[in-house]
Structure 1
Amino acid sequence: MVVGGDASLSSGAQTSSPGWATASEIDSFLQKERADLKLSGLAVVVISQRSIIFERGYGDAAPEGPAVTLNTPFVLGSTSKQLTGLAVQQLIAQGRLSLDDTVGELLSSLGGKTSRLGGVTVRQLLSHQSGISTNAGTADEFDLAPAFTSLRRETIHLLTSTQEATPGRKFVYSNGNYTLLGAIIEALTGQPFEDALRTLVTRPLGLNTTTSDLALARSHGLAVGHYTWFGAIDSTTPGPRWPMGAPSAYTTSSVADLARLVLADLGKRSGINQAVLTAAQAPLTTVNKYSKYASGWYVRSFWQLHDYNKNYDDPQLPLIYEHDGDTARETSYLAFSPDLGFGVVVLSSTGLGTDTGRFGDFTERLLHTIVGTQSAPRVVEPIVAAAPVIMVVLPLLQLGSAIFLAASFRGPRGSRISRWIPRVAAALVTLVTVIVAFLVVPAQTHQPLLDRAWWAGVPDLATSVAMSLLFVAASLVVAIMGTVRILRSPRDPSSEI
């Protein structure tokens, strides 16, 4: 076993399943991947046969600060949903809530009865079938300067939002579903979400560092979020972390705590009744032909047990429960397979940037490495691979064209051809910039250009686009002023030659 700065979470003999990777092999893989992906802080736990076979922290939790340990808390992102879902299942087991209770009944004091979402059930919230759009669930939570930050105000706002789909018709992943569940937990318990989470989940499971209170998390040594600017420069970069996002994205935890959660899901005795954990694992809806969704868990076949994920539809494959998380400055991944007694916890303090698939590909390769199978080579879209270069070159090219254009109006008039070359070049560069800014970027990020949550998520791309558009404006000003100057100056017949 490899341990990074902390005592082991388990005792007894540590053996992996036959054919699976050893602790040293997992460590070698993680060291290489961390360097390749520029993951600043990283903590990983691997469980096999319901015993921990690997646990280690890498990097520092803060600049010139302590090293990452098994107890270092990270902001989780969407893996916060497992904790909220478990709290809901606890309330159901206590007879205080049912899957068929509606938002109108549960949140009547916040306008639930008159809301478009009044008929949405707890089951539909847990399974992302309320119809709340993805954007409605992230617009405020990931905004750099939201109009309000409390769970109460965000709930009222969501209750008045338009729906993307009719409730119960289809799976539409949205943080808004778990925001409403957080408000329901508060309404039923009469406690702030943090206190209810402690009573229902963290204390029964013996979780020591898990909290939705960011001030408390900082006192525990919360890992500082990082961003890799232009795919090359790793830097601590502030990101949004708002109280209303705690039930869906901004709860914090450590790999030590989450390993205890996974071990409880694998059947290890805990302060939460196994029937509650089983209920939280029960699929509530179908996502697609590959997976279903439970209370904060995607459920699918563990196809990484085959080389290159072949025979993914093999009915003999065991199930794996998993979820990833992304806050734009942190990433996380949880998975477990009850039939194999297998589990993995991955926490990182580095955001995804423009290559949004890189962390998912990393955890895919990690699963293959652990179980001893081959993963397919990663395929990156050309535009994603070229994004760091484009982000640097585009504003420089636009600035250069503006300077070249200005020089063409100030210098000797010359021939018609020589006068028009810089103007045509500037027009082409400007056209490319506008297409990239208003068509390519929104298509790739799936968010409108003026969405402030998008600016927070990819600050290097946002900076590049902003500078490019600023230089476009400068080019237009230069072109207008130069044209006016030409129109006002006397014509020189020799320049027409």
Structure 2
Amino acid sequence: MVIGMRTRLAVAASALLALLATLWVPPAWPAADPAAAQQRAVQPLRDLDVPGWTAVVVQGDRVVARFAEGRAGGRPVSGSTPFLVGSVSKSFTATLVLNLVQEGQLGLDDRVDRRLPDLRGAPNGLGAVSVRQLLTHTSGLSRSAGLERADVVDDRPETLRRLASSLREVTLASEPGTTYAYSDANYLLLGAIVEQVTGTDFGRALRERVTDPLGMSGAITTSAQADASGVGAGNRLPFGRARPFDRGYSQSGVPYGYVGATPDDLVRYARFQLGVAPNTSVLSSSGLATMQRAQVRTSATQSYGFGWRTTQLDGLPRPVVEHTGATPGFFTHVLLDPANDRAVIVLANAYSEAAAPALAGVGPDLLRAAAAVPQQPMSPDPVLSAAPWVAVALAAVGLVCAALAVRAGLRRDRRRRAALTALAVLGVVLAALAALTPRLVGYGWREVRLWAPDLALGLGASVVAWGAVAVTAAVAVVVRTRRGRAAPPG
């Protein structure tokens, strides 16, 4: 009877959840009211308390919708406001690489060690990886190999090459050419290859060969340009509240994440990528097609090309070409709908891993609004949103337990030795678990502090609190044991 009741409850719960799901799915906005659908699409940017953001919809050679709210760099957001574009930089790097291929200075199947002598004879076999495999993230380099070398604030001209050379020491996670694994390290290597081929620093090569020919006058590819542009501090979102964060510009990070651009610059770039504003000196139409073509399947709905993802969005008949990008403090999303000569650009001067789903849902919903199909507004990640609060609560419980252990150690009675021993063991386990949590999910403490400062605070406090529990409980056990031995018989 109990089993039958549980089964009926499970069926009833499933039916209720299915009903709620059908009620939750938003209806399609009518084509006669695209403005309301667009407002709905950008609402998450307001809900997240982003200090400054903009969203632009491009149709052919026209900007058909533009939203801009808040401030960035001390000024109201406008078409000339500079933002860092994060991993959208990878599409710029891929454009530059294919420009060199178009000119015959580089081959897609060239080995890395042909271009980077420092990697000849690398014990991990990285020298045999091809340019094509770097572009598609199939080199065997892991995500962590890139994270450990990313966001390095060092303007010395040799930094990029030094970081690239250090990859000879890492262990490849898979055989080159067999497995997709997104890693900034791939585009770090491409940046070093471009410098070797062109004989100049990567930022200058990108400016001379891509951004200047496309008329992107506000583009940022060097630290000097970043300082002159007034790009200002971005914002992280610890505990859901915007806090300014300016770690500095990473010039060695330009190939994978530190290109800067204004909204107007990205409109020009999007129109070039769509083929609406061709510039064959940068890249031919066949080069653009090669760059945007799906090269390796990454999921049921997504593939990766050269610096672009090809994604099948729910509600749209054809895949779109897109890429998100983030640096600590900035978020960018560029989406191209080549079949309709349409593009969407979203820029925000705030970012957190917890807020990423909501931020990344704005661009697709703007495309759905343009196509008059049902929208799918996204919310912040509930697990990542709750994790910092859970970690802080765990630290608070640890402090209470530490205080109780101190009190127990000061008392004269000899009882509860077993409970204190168990508490000491629990303190060791929880302190170790909090300390190892970043590694358990594939990150280091540096990356957690940079990208999720609230979680780093909570985990750090938990390590301290439960470490204190372990020490105080162990001391209390020792004190009680000594008192027990010293007590007279009877």
TM class by shorter-chain length? Answer: 0.7 to 0.9
Contact 1:38 1:234 in 2 (8 A): yes
Match of 2:34 among 22, 29, 45: 22
Counterpart for residue 482 of structure 1: 476
Counterpart for residue 125 of structure 1: 134
Match of 2:273 among 249, 265, 288: 265
Q: What secondary structure sits across from 2:472 in the alignment?
A: helix
Q: Deviations over 1:129-184 (max 9, x none)?
A: 11111111121214689999811101111234221111111212111111111111
Counterpart for residue 405 of structure 2: 405
Shift of 1:391: 3.3
Cα 1:488/1:161, change in 2 over 3 Å: closer
2:176 maps to 1:193: no
Shift of 1:427: 6.2
Contact 1:48 1:342 in 2 (8 A): yes
| AA of the residue aligned to 2:131 | V
Q: What secondary structure sits across from 2:254 in the alignment?
A: helix
Q: Whole-Å Cα distance in 2 between the matches of residues 255 and 147 of structure 1?
A: 29
Q: Deviations over 1:313-335 (max 9, x none)?
A: xxxx2231001112232211111
| AA of the residue aligned to 1:258 | L
Matches for 1:395-434 after TM superposition, within 5 Å: 395-411=395-411, 413=413, 416=415, 431=429, 434=432
Cα 1:358/1:213, change in 2 over 3 Å: same
Q: Whole-Å Cα distance in 1 between the matches of residues 430 and 122 of structure 2?
A: 48
The answer for unaligned runs of 5 or more in structure 2 is 1-28
Counterpart for residue 257 of structure 2: 249
Contact 2:82 2:260 in 1 (8 A): yes
Larger deviation, residues 120-129 vs 485-494: 485-494
Larger deviation, residues 201-210 vs 284-293: 284-293
2:384 maps to 1:389: no
Q: Whole-Å Cα distance in 2 between the matches of residues 83 and 345 of structure 1?
A: 15
Cα 1:69/1:368, change in 2 over 3 Å: same
What TM-score do you get using the length of structure 1 for normalisation?
A: 0.82
2:148 maps to 1:154: no
Q: Whole-Å Cα distance in 2 between the matches of residues 37 and 178 of structure 1?
A: 31
Matches for 1:181-220 after TM superposition, within 5 Å: 181-220=190-229
Higher relative helix content: 2
2:53 maps to 1:45: no
Q: What secondary structure sits across from 1:208 in the alignment?
A: coil
2:230 maps to 1:221: yes
Contact 1:23 1:53 in 2 (8 A): no
Shift of 1:387: 2.1
Shift of 1:107: 1.5
Cα 1:493/1:273, change in 2 over 3 Å: closer
Match of 1:60 among 71, 75, 95: 71
Contact 2:60 2:271 in 1 (8 A): no
Shift of 1:378: 4.5
Shift of 1:56: 3.1
Q: Whole-Å Cα distance in 1 between the matches of residues 153 and 456 of structure 2?
A: 13
Q: What secondary structure sits across from 1:489 in the alignment?
A: helix
| AA of the residue aligned to 1:345 | I
Q: Whole-Å Cα distance in 2 between the matches of residues 240 and 149 of structure 1?
A: 18
Count of matched residue pairs: 458
Larger deviation, residues 18-27 vs 92-101: 18-27
Shift of 1:474: 1.6
Shift of 1:198: 0.9
What TM-score do you get using the length of structure 2 for normalisation?
A: 0.84
Contact 2:53 2:70 in 1 (8 A): yes
Q: What secondary structure sits across from 1:339 in the alignment?
A: helix
Shift of 1:299: 1.4
Identity of aligned residues (%): 28
Contact 2:333 2:346 in 1 (8 A): yes
Q: Whole-Å Cα distance in 2 between the matches of residues 301 and 186 of structure 1?
A: 35
Counterpart for residue 468 of structure 1: 462
Counterpart for residue 94 of structure 1: 103
